[in-house]
Amino acid sequence: MPTESAASRGKRAGKIIDILKARYPDAACSLDFQDPLQLLVATILSAQCTDQRVNIVTKDLFARYTTVEAYAKADPKKFEGEIRSTGFFRNKTKSILGAARKLVDEFGGQVPRTMEELLTLPGVARKTANVVLGNAFGINEGVVVDTHVSRLAVRLKLTDAPKERADKIEQDLMALAPRDDWALFAHLLVFHGRNTCMARKPDCAGCPVQKLCPSAFTFGQEPPGKSKG
């Protein structure tokens, strides 16, 4: 593919977003939550764990811990056992209980609504803060870059960064999408990554953005109508 200008990439990204909006009208956060605190806890638990597993764990966890004070006073060993199946349970326990104590001590028990304040909480980096801000508060401070988003951003050539550079990928995606769409953009890419553009065997033939994707049919598949003979 010839070198693409920033303007051309922006137009292509806009078309991709519009098509994915039509394809996935229900695209939204996959984590179950009812308030900012629950989303904060679920997002910390989701590190190196599927959202499906997190939702199974939080169903009981949220019934047991109904306030930030309950988390702040929780017994670490007991909590570790309650979240063990999400993996990295010791570090996650330290982060969640530590964040709860900080919320009680410094934020009046409320999850803060700014990137700067969220980043002061144990276990919270920019990705987690973006999830909370975008989905609990409707505040678009950035684009959540998880494994699906990084993979698709690279495949769609919406970034020149390698998939390991989440920080650079986020900046590139923010430059391509309207700010009001930043949170949704991530959800659209996640849904597309789970349902069509899978890591090992993407369904290029069934992809609604194949004509806008420089990587289409480069995974050992033949374009429609092209014979292998």
Among 51, 92, 102, 127, the one annotated catalytic: 127
Q: Is 92 a catalytic residue?
A: no
Name the burial class of residue 77, with classes exposed (0-12), middle (13-18) and buried (19+) by CB atoms within 10 angstroms of its CB: exposed
Q: Is 163 a catalytic residue?
A: no
Q: State the Cα–Cα distance between residues 6 and 188, nearest whole angstrom.
A: 22
Structure-block tokens of residue 79:
């909590």
Among 94, 146, 157, 168, the one annotated catalytic: 146
Residues 202 and 218: beta-carbon distance below 8 Å: no
Q: State the Cα–Cα distance between residues 52 and 144, nearest whole angstrom.
A: 18
Residue closest to 210 by CA, chosen among 228, 193, 197: 197
Structure-block tokens of residue 52:
């499906």
Distances (CA, A) of 105 to 64, 77, 99, 121: 22, 22, 10, 11
Q: 6-23 vs 182-195: helix axis angle to the nearest 10?
A: 70
**Residues classed as catalytic:** 127, 146
